[in-house]
Amino acid sequence: MAWIQTLIDASYFLAALLFILGLKRMSSPRTARGGIVWAGFGMLLAVVATLLLPDLAHRVLIIVAVLIGVAAAWWSGRRVAMTAMPQMVALYNGMGGGAAAAIGASELVSHVQDLAALNGVAVSDNGSLLHAAAAIAPLSPVALVLGVLGALIGSVSFSGSLIAFAKLQGWLDRRFVFPGQRVVNMLVLAAAVVIGVMLATGHLTLALICAFFVLALLFGLLMTLPIGGADMPVVISLYNAFTGLAVAFEGFVLHNEAMIIAGMVVGAAGTLLTQLMAKAMNRSLGNVLFGNFGAAAGASAQAIGGSQKPIEAADAAVMMAYAERVVIVPGYGMAVAQAQHKVWEFAQLLIARGVKVKFAIHPVAGRMPGHMNVLLAEAGVPYDLIADMEDINPEFPATDVALVIGANDVVNPMAKTDPSSPIYGMPILDVAEAKQAIVVKRGKGTGFAGIENALFYADNARMLYGDGQAAAGQLVSELKSLDG
């Protein structure tokens, strides 16, 4: 009935509006929680509206699948620790790309069957035979092209995101390279594109469709395997954009307005975020994908003089207790140690003593965009105490003590001084310019990217060795003893 279609169209429009407004609210930490709720209601509305489509087939199976997915997501969302959030995001993003690729595969196979039926050719389907039917309307040329594009991009996002998940989870080594890898990657991509063009121009066979998806999935694997862990924030953002584009293309194929708008919004946001992440590292996207940064330490032409100088928690606490300005720089090590609550407790004690405390966040700190912001928000750190790199860097020369906990490459001064360093040119937090720097670190090894950090050997730096949460707890105890 006409009124049902009108209701569905209105629901899709409202869902799209909720997606856009929700994303807008996510741009600020103060409104991000509400933005997630708004977008969630938009998705719920879009799903319900889709279930009302008069010609929807297998409605019961779809509802069962949705319920299983919701239950799995609810369970995993409640149980996954904040330290594992990056790999959870990578996995969920991969599932979105995989769903878009599955839609493309279904439409392409159905198109083969439709063409065969139009030509009076019987096509086997689970042991039964489909015969020519006059009412069959195959995909239009535009829908066919968009379906192939969505399937290609979604497949790459799916397999690439799974590799990113495995690396972040620690199931795979940080790198996997072999001689001639770039050439092999390009050949695989070229083959997938050639077959995709054949499919899009009507040369449809089940064999070509299978070859197309195998090559697309393989390219996603090959593209992600050599990328080092230091680039994971950029990779996650890129695959997020890929998934959005794939969903939008498949939305055109299905004539689903909610999918089109949601996919375009996600694709645009992911693209902008990828550009921002790459800019924060002063590197092009091509260099991220093909430069193997973070894969190995690499030799440095600049020798690092001096030695790492340890400090006890008691001395570090006294140094910060009588400071005027303290800047705390969190990194992924803080997340691993789950030390954010203790760090905030320590900061509160400093603030109570009249110390001016701020938290400095590098755009690519952690394993995904905004990772450190989420951790600090979970601990209850007020948003006005969290500063971005551009805002906080001018304040480091006037900072009495910079406390680095779990961060490494984003505070490495060799990014400014050593042209041979893999991170040369990457904007960093200027911790080395503070009057004193205290670095909380488990040992003397390098960071996740495998690059030696000159800050640790600087004359104004002291090393507080130990687990992040234990070290923060010691600082809290020592600071309390000063007031006791």
Residues annotated as part of the active site = 409
Cβ(425)–Cβ(282) below 8 Å: yes
DSSP state of 119: T
Q: How many CA atoms lie within 13 A of 119 on its CB side?
A: 9
* Per-residue tokens: 393: 């860097």
Return the percent helix, strand and coil in the chain, to nearest 5: 65, 10, 30
Measure the CA dihedral 431/432/434/438, to 10°. Answer: 70
Residue 156 phi, psi dihedral angles, 5° rounding? -60, -45
The residue ranges of DSSP E strands in 367-435, in sequence order, are: 386-388, 401-405
**Token reading at 170:** 């620690």
Question: In angstroms, how far is CA 439 from the centroid of its own chain?
Answer: 27
Strand partners, 462: 438
Q: Which helix (H) or strand (E) holds 358?
A: strand 356-361
Contact 247, 266 (CB under 8 A): yes
Q: At what angle do helices 32-51 and 257-280 cross, to 10 degrees?
A: 150
Nearest to 94 by CA among 152, 142, 156: 156
Residue matched to tokens 């950090």: 453
Count CB atoms within 10 A of the CB of residue 44: 13
Candidates 100, 454, 469; CA nearest to 305 is 454
**Separation between Cα atoms, residue 173 and residue 88, nearest integer Å:** 18
- The backbone torsions φ and ψ at residue 459, rounded to the nearest 5 degrees and listed phi first, read -65, -30
Contact 80, 177 (CB under 8 A): no
DSSP annotation string for 143-158: HHHHHHHHHHHHHHHH
Kindly state the DSSP code that residue 193 receives in the 8-state scheme: H
Question: Which residues lie below 8 Å from residue 454, measured CB to CB, with a gap of 6+?
Answer: 302, 304, 412, 413, 414, 417, 418, 432
